[in-house]
């Protein structure tokens, strides 16, 4: 028995009848009612936002965390003298690098600047950088 | 026709992309485009206009909810007709089919002579066909509409109904046979004769 083609005449008759077939017309209010249901469904869905962190941002975050760990490990933050001594050693190393006569005026200026100015400058720069980074990450989100 | 269907299919995918990105109002384009077919297919199973409208609307809501699972491998229409089919059958399980009896329809058509006078009337053929489809059992009307009117092939119909290709061949064979027999009864055995009248 060939299921695909029933008696050819019968099949032709049906094909012919379907040429005059017209699909049923949905009621006029159909689209409006359906879209109301769809919008109701859309409203009832919880909206969640996911942040998208780029590879560059991930790298910066990683470096920052590593730096923080290193600083905490090498410096006793609770002891101000320890912090000052580390900064002073950095300052002295920096000055020794710039021992060239060309940098003498700059050396004089650096020597005059107190250590706490460096601490405040670096801390502020670090906080500003982190603030900018976090702000950028928080504004780069996708609504689901 | 095939080219038009392909263009529509590509267009459907663009609309779906917009809806997935959050433009819910674009979904109304799909509703406008498929509402009549959804209603017709639901009606072919449920035999009741109110139930068919409700089912067609529910099918659209289900389609919207599950749009994320539509990967675009098949046509949107095929995927959507599957939802209409499943929703209609679920509805059918909880409600009894409410279609008119064959005797009623035969009496409405009048005697053979009066029908003979109007046999060239195209509208009559359409009414006859609708009445015959209405007499088909369960999903038989759904299958013949997809096969003859939507011109879907067996594989596409199998996708719409979750049946295997061989199952669809058997079911379609029976549906076409039944449809032809009903047409013969409605036309007092003149179906073949009338097929050449426009």
Residue B54: HSE in the Cβ half-sphere, 13 Å Cα cutoff = 12
Q: Can you tell me the distance from the alpha carbon of B76 to that of A126, in angstroms, rounded to the nearest whole number? A: 53
Sequential pLDDT tens for chain B (198 residues): 556 556 666 688 889 988 888 888 899 999 999 999 999 999 999 988 999 999 999 999 999 999 888 888 888 999 999 999 999 999 988 886 555 444 444 444 444 444 444 444 555 777 888 888 888 887 899 999 999 998 898 999 998 888 999 999 999 999 988 998 888 888 776 656 655 554
Closest CA to B161 of B151, B148, B146: B146
Q: ipTM of this predicted complex?
A: 0.76
Q: Can you tell me the distance from the alpha carbon of A83 to that of B155, in angstroms, rounded to the nearest whole number? A: 76
Residues of chain B neighbouring A21 (CB-CB closer than 8 A) = 126, 129-130, 145, 148-149
Q: Can you tell me the distance from the alpha carbon of B31 to that of B15, in angstroms, rounded to the nearest whole number? A: 11
Strands A49-51 and A141-143: antiparallel
pTM attached to this predicted model: 0.64
Q: Could B195 and A12 be called an inter-chain contact, meaning their C-beta atoms sit closer than 8 Å?
A: yes
Q: What SS3 state is found at A132? A: helix
Residues of chain B neighbouring A3 (CB-CB closer than 8 A) = 169-170, 172-173
A-interface mutation test, from B28, B37, B187, most A Cβ less than 10 A away: B28
Strand ranges, E, within A1-144: 49-51, 141-143
């Amino acid at each position: 028995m060939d299921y695909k083609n029933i008696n050819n005449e019968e099949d032709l008759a049906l094909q012919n009848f379907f040429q005059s077939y017209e699909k049923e017309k949905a009621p006029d209010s159909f689209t409006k009612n359906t879209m109301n249901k769809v919008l109701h469904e859309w409203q009832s869905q919880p909206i969640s936002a996911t942040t998208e962190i780029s590879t560059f941002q991930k790298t910066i975050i990683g470096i920052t965390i590593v730096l923080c760990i290193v600083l905490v490990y090498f410096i006793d933050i609770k002891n101000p003298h320890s912090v000052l001594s580390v900064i002073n050693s950095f300052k002295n190393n920096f000055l020794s690098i710039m021992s060239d006569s060309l940098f003498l005026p700059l050396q004089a200026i650096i020597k005059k600047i107190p250590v706490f100015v460096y601490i405040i400058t670096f801390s502020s720069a670090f906080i500003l950088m982190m603030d900018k980074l976090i702000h950028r990450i928080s504004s780069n989100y996708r609504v689901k | 026709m095939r080219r038009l269907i392909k263009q529509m299919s590509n267009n459907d995918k663009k609309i779906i992309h917009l809806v997935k990105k959050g433009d819910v109002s674009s979904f109304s384009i799909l509703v406008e485009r498929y509402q009549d077919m959804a209603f017709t297919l639901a009606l072919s199973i449920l035999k009741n206009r109110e139930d068919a409208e409700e089912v067609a609307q529910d099918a659209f809501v289900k389609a919207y909810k599950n749009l994320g699972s539509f990967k675009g491998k098949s046509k949107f229409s095929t995927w959507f007709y599957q939802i209409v089919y499943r929703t209609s059958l679920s509805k059918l399980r909880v409600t009894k089919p409410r279609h008119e009896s064959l005797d009623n329809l035969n009496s409405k058509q009048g005697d053979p002579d009066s029908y003979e006078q109007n046999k060239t009337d195209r509208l009559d053929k359409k009414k006859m066909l609708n009445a015959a489809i209405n007499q088909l059992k369960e999903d038989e009307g759904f299958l013949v509409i997809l096969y003859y009117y939507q011109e879907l092939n067996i594989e596409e119909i199998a996708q719409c109904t979750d049946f295997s290709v061989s199952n669809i061949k058997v079911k379609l064979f029976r549906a076409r046979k039944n449809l032809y027999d009903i047409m013969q009864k409605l036309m007092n055995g003149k179906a073949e004769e009338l097929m050449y009248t426009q």
